[in-house]
Amino acid sequence: MTPAFIAGAAALLLATLGLLLRPYLIRRKPGAAASQRRLNIAIYRDQLDELERDRTSGALAEADYATAYEEIQRRLLDDDVVDDAPAAVVASGRGTLAAIALVVPLLAGGLYVWLGNPVALNPPQAQHKVSAAEIEDMVTKLAARLEKDDNPQGWVMLARSYKILGRYEDAAKAYGRAGSFLDTEPVLLADYADILVAASGTFAGKPRELIARALKIEPDNAHALWLSGTGAFEAGQFDLAIAEWERLLALLPANSDEARSVQSSIGEARAQGGKSLGAKRAIEKPARSGEKVGASATVTGRVELAAALKDKAAPGDTVMVIARPADGSRMPVAVLKARVPDLPLAFSLDDSLAMSPDHAMSKFKEIIIEARISRTGMATPQAGDLLSAPQTVPVGKAGIKLLVDQVRP
């Protein structure tokens, strides 16, 4: 129990007792009661005289006069009783004072023990942090228990545990052991497909089948729509990728990071499919007077993955090189996507990778550039993503090195 709490509680208790015991501690001066009684008698006499005048003048009926007269007499008798009371109060006040002083602290303490949380007042004990080895041990024990007691929900839990640890092949096997339990669960079907892609690096075969089943059950499943569009993009089916991502875009909050990421992917699919000619022509127009324009509309460099993090990146993970204006705007001016097997990646960012012709890289003098490796490929960073340190560079700079050496907590 902390000293500050004890001091505060004691101060409040003393203040409460002071208010409750004040009438018993403050005594009236000896002549005060007699003076007050004389004053009351004078007031009642004036009231009786006024009643008599009203009756004599006819302003007050006889019955009303009698009622008022009795009321004044009653109040006069009450004052006599009150004036006699202090003696009794003095006689019994000591017992009442002692009872209040004893009962209030005991009642307050008892109520706190019953309704409060005394344990929370003790100094916090140092918490044990679970190490990676302990997590691995718990997952291993769960797997051994499931081998003896087959449980579909348990296999799903194990699959997700493996996924958190980055053990995608083991996660895929665990999902496979869940069997028909997944057949009516679109969220689990999409997650299973995602893990298979992370383990194998391809959407071909079972991942595509699982995604289709998830969308058949829930056509607006955001995860499945994203995976479906990504699979179509990698297969060169750009029209299908655009259609799936546009369905997803309609489900996302406007101007959110997720929506901007999907818009960027749609733009990339249109560019790959030869549908961005109009946008390219708009970008190639001469800058209007007063516009900020970089010395060159190209930034080049290289993305590398630190050796210590190579076991945390799966072949199916997305590598993103993202450039944003240095003025603090969150909307990217260029996004380049690749896969982990492409690392180390030589990149070149220019206006063809802009999400909008009005928000192209050539309109800015400086940009903030960073690399991120993501399992989902979404613009919003997620726990477990691998990151490089962001760098502020002038537009036109070459030879930038982005080292992915951090893990987002």
Mean pLDDT, consecutive 10-residue segments, the chain of 409 residues? Answer: 65 67 55 55 69 72 73 65 48 59 66 59 55 77 85 88 83 90 92 88 90 94 92 88 91 82 81 53 39 61 93 87 84 84 90 74 90 78 87 92 92
Q: Is residue 284 part of a domain?
A: no
My answer on whether 357 and 321 are in the same domain is yes
Q: Is residue 127 part of a domain?
A: no
pTM beyond 0.85, yes or no: no
My answer on whether 138 and 158 are in the same domain is yes
Which of 229, 251, 277 corresponds to the end of one domain?
A: 277
Q: The domain spanning residue 355 has which CATH number?
A: 2.60.40.1120
Q: Is residue 345 part of a domain?
A: yes
My answer on whether 163 and 271 are in the same domain is yes
Element (H, E) at 106: helix 62-115
What is the domain range of residue 41? 3-121
My answer on whether 327 and 256 are in the same domain is no
CA angle 386, 389, 392 (to 5 degrees): 140
The total domain count for the chain is 3
My answer on whether 154 and 229 are in the same domain is yes
Which of 208, 243, 277 corresponds to the end of one domain?
A: 277
Contact 350, 336 (CB under 8 A): no
The predicted pLDDT at position 218 comes to 94
Contacts of 207 (CB under 8 A, 6+ apart): 193, 194, 196, 197, 200, 227, 231
Q: Is residue 287 part of a domain?
A: no
My answer on whether 70 and 175 are in the same domain is no
My answer on whether 113 and 140 are in the same domain is no
**In whole angstroms, what is the distance from residue 387 CA to residue 320 CA?**
10
The predicted pLDDT at position 227 comes to 92
My answer on whether 273 and 345 are in the same domain is no
- List Cβ<8 Å contacts ≥24 apart for 284-287: 287/362, 287/363
